[in-house]
Amino acid sequence: MNRPLLCSGPAASLRRERWGFLFSGSELAMSDTPWQPRGFTAAVHLNDLRAVADLTQARDGLTQLVIAGQAFPAARLLGIALFSTVDAAGAAPLENYVRGADLVVAYEPSGRQAVRVDALWRAIAPAAADVFLAAVDLVVSVRTDVLDSRPELPVQSTVPAGEVLQLQGLDPVAWTALALPSAAALTIGPGRGTGCVLFRLPGCDLTYVEMVHPADFQYDELRRDECGGQTVQIAHRLFRTSLEKGVILRARVRGIFLKRQGDTQCAAECYAAFAGADPPLGT
């Protein structure tokens, strides 16, 4: 993968190590990776970020979130809703390994779609000049051995949030507050702004921003939970096209943690850098 940029005063480059190891079914440790694997789970410890990924529950993504010493037990970040009952059944992935800052997982084809899903979660530490606290990229790839299939799937997060804002364009001041009903989803697509949504976390001075690369942005669905509205779920609908045998489709989603002060300016800069990044070459 080429080196996409993250935000700072000047944007900082993404750093990547090029060596890794398998950990399926066993416990290994490596000093130069933020991921600590244990069986089919992997904990990430990266500066201010702590979280856990249970690879048998792809739809949950990163859980047990702690950022800058603040715990968010209700958070579920950058999960993948697979095509069948694999999530509910808790099936082990086909393959999984850690490679430097990357956690790479493959889920075998199942159900009528017969689509293989490859996921790469990348933990990103800020450089000295950066103003973000931590970031996580998710690159999702789909492929199939059948002649034609429909690979649409959502990448989803559940975020404790008070105010929710959507970036309307590359102008750092062009943000719109989203009024989210609890009973129905609010749908946003390219005609209603970008796939960059800002969540101001309650009870602290932290902000979480989640963004879809504009080349991959189809539409998002957002809704508050029905029991008090303390969390917001965002689902990015990806791959809304047919998939032919021998073709690989990829999409990129990024989550960034910021301090509250100046969060909209920094988030807009991060999105602009992300939008201008080179496409990934593979997982």
The string of pLDDT tens digits covering residues 184-204 is 899 999 998 999 999 999 999
Instruction: Kindly state the helix (H) or strand (E) to which residue 275 belongs, with its residue range.
Output: helix 263-275
For domain 5-275, give its CATH number from 2.40.50, 2.70.98, 1.10.3470, 3.40.50.
Answer: 2.70.98
SS3 content of the chain, % helix, strand, coil (to 5): 10, 45, 45
Q: CA angle, corner 223, sides to 109 and 75, nearest 5?
A: 70
Where are the domains positioned within the chain? Answer: 5-275
Distance CA(152)–CA(79), nearest Å, equals: 14
Distance CA(130)–CA(11), nearest Å, equals: 7
pTM for the predicted model, two decimal places: 0.85
Distance CA(113)–CA(145), nearest Å, equals: 10
- Residue 62: the pLDDT is 98
The string of pLDDT tens digits covering residues 5-34 is 344 443 333 333 222 333 333 333 344 799
Q: Which residues of the chain have pLDDT under 50?
A: 1-31, 85-88
